[in-house]
Structure 1
Amino acid sequence: MKIIDLIKSPKPTLSFEVFPPKTSQNFESVRAAVEEIAALRPAFMSVTYGAGGGTSDFTADIAADIQDKFGVPALAHMTCVSSSREKVHAVTETLKAKGITNVLALRGDLPQGFDLSAADYRYASELIAEIKERGDFCIGGACYPEAHPESEDSMTDLRHLKEKADQGCEFFTTQMFFDNSILYNFIYRARAAGITVPIVAGVMPVTNAAQIKRIMAISGSALPQRFVRIVDRYGSDPEAMMQAGIAYATAQIIDLFANGVPAVHVYSMNKPEIARRIMENVSSIIA
């Protein structure tokens, strides 16, 4: 099933992200976590993709398992910035062979010292156009409610987002955010800029204080004071922080659905317990 059809269905859509192992030695432990999350019957699951396609085989294998063995639609990530055109062609053929029709097309992070001008792909919009030509894929893309860290300003960021939609991107999934008003403002500005495709809200449950530094380094997301107070109060108590982080993410999700956001994608970090608790908290809302 294509993700766009799920997102456009009348009921709210809750999905989870998982990531493949870096080496084959960890494949079975990751697969076990994926199976536990799939057993929760989310609307779909996405599988991330290492820089330069380093885990592309694992990504395709896990996505195929999610669909074929667990019966959950899969969304395979694909990054392009340090991949050759031949690599991208090979990955799309692998996905087609495995029956995977949903792709999240991303530029990916720039490796240190990387010469972007010499790359086969400089922007995600180029990858989207390439994938569109190579099969009947449902293509999603990424968006940044607080603007991409490398963008000149929010208007430039929206212009690039519109380019991705024009190239065939059918939905966007947001970077994590911790204040829903930021997303609502972003959606309003995106619609005003002529971007009409669905926007899926990406939510990260923060369940340990150590995640905060990494989150800030990756996304630069603004941290509301109410969230900072939770981390300050419970960050030194692992069980309390997990409970509080899941409660905060759950409150975000309920508010998003109540305000008409059609789909929420949870960055569950391969942790079935987090996925299970969130699913239980909103089970009647998404039923």
Structure 2
Amino acid sequence: MKIKDKFKIKNPLISFEIFPPKANYPVDTIYDSIDELYSLYPDFMSVTYGAGGSTKDRTIEISSHIQNKCNLTSIAHVTCISSSRNEINNIINSLKKNNIHNVLALRGDYPKDAAYTPPNDGFKNSVELIEYLRKNTNLCIGAACYPEKHPEAYDLNADIDFLKRKADSGADFLITQMFFDNELFYDFYDKVHKKGINLPIITGIMPILNKNQINTILNLTGNMIPVKLRRILDKYENNPVALTEAGISYAISQTIDLLSWGVDGIHIYTMNKPSTAKKILGSISAIRGVLTNESKSS
């Protein structure tokens, strides 16, 4: 089923993101995690790439397993910065062959290889990829958005202008990068709608499970850490077990606030840890049920 059609029958959606195992690990090592996540009844599951697109083939293989073996809607990440049009066409054909109807269209990170040169017939950015997919496929296309702006954007307004181009090029819905301050998302949401972007926006939640994780996130995204979360990180930095529990509790409170506000969906970056997703969904099950019932009756 296409994700854009799910919004017509249910709101909010609950989804998970997983990533393939490293290239030197068997692909089936992820399947137990998928089975556990499937038991939580998500509305869809997304499959990302490894660093530098290193697990691109596995992304489609795992997405196919979710779609065809588990009978659960999957969405495959597709990046374009290193891909020729012929390579993207091969991905499109593979998606069609595997009955995958949803993609998250991304530029992707530039390769770190200093000798890298982009393909002559490649794509400069995600807008060009979205345009190409919309013109040449019947896929449901998701796009990324950044409540605190993309790290390379001049400012948030410029980034929202670029987001408008994604919407106008054919994106069907949006998934945010992780954020830790809901007020920043609410401000972003208002700005987006004032620009005439009226696509469903699914909010990305990343539970903080260890202190190294937060440093990695900050280096990659530059996200702001609210005072409340910073206090938690400082208090429990030398107590890994307590930090994990406190990080999950923060994600739960953040999720409940977003659901109460009325977001279109919650997308949990699971880090391939089903136990974390179970704790979050277990704590929000009551409000999730109420909101789902309201959606059905409206």
State if a TM-score over 0.5 links the two structures: yes
Residue correspondence of structure 1 range 1-287 to structure 2 within 5 A: 1-23=1-23, 25-50=25-50, 53-112=53-112, 113=114, 114-115=116-117, 120-287=122-289
Deviation at 1:86, TM superposition (A): 1.1
Deviation at 1:104, TM superposition (A): 0.2
SS of match in other structure, 1:90: helix
**Deviations 1:230-249 (CA, angstroms, capped at 9, x unpaired):** 11112222221111111100
SS of match in other structure, 2:211: coil
Tell me if the contact between 2:207 and 2:250 (Cα under 8 Å) persists in the aligned partners.
Answer: yes
TM-score normalised to the size of structure 2?
0.92
CA distance in 2, matches of 1:91, 1:39: 29
Runs (5+) with no aligned partner, structure 1: none
Deviation at 1:116, TM superposition (A): 5.8
CA distance in 2, matches of 1:132, 1:50: 25
Higher mean alpha-carbon deviation, 37-46 vs 117-126, is at: 117-126
CA distance in 2, matches of 1:7, 1:276: 23
CA distance in 2, matches of 1:53, 1:243: 32
**Deviations 1:72-111 (CA, angstroms, capped at 9, x unpaired):** 2101100000111111110111001100000000001112
CA distance in 2, matches of 1:8, 1:63: 23
SS of match in other structure, 1:283: helix
Question: What letter corresponds to residue 178 of structure 1 in structure 2?
Answer: F
Residue 295 of structure 2 is matched in structure 1 by none
CA distance in 1, matches of 2:50, 2:25: 16
Deviation at 1:147, TM superposition (A): 0.8
SS of match in other structure, 1:196: coil
**Deviations 1:44-72 (CA, angstroms, capped at 9, x unpaired):** 10000246643222111111111222222
CA distance in 1, matches of 2:218, 2:142: 24
Question: What letter corresponds to residue 167 of structure 2 in structure 1?
Answer: A
The alignment yields a C-alpha RMSD, in angstroms, of 1.6
SS of match in other structure, 1:200: strand
CA distance in 2, matches of 1:220, 1:170: 27
**Deviations 1:138-174 (CA, angstroms, capped at 9, x unpaired):** 0000011111111112221111101111110011111
**Deviations 1:171-205 (CA, angstroms, capped at 9, x unpaired):** 11111110000000001000111111111100100
Question: What letter corresponds to residue 18 of structure 2 in structure 1?
Answer: V
SS of match in other structure, 2:272: coil
CA distance in 1, matches of 2:209, 2:52: 29
TM-score normalised to the size of structure 1?
0.95
Tell me if the contact between 1:80 and 1:88 (Cα under 8 Å) persists in the aligned partners.
Answer: yes
CA distance in 2, matches of 1:105, 1:164: 10
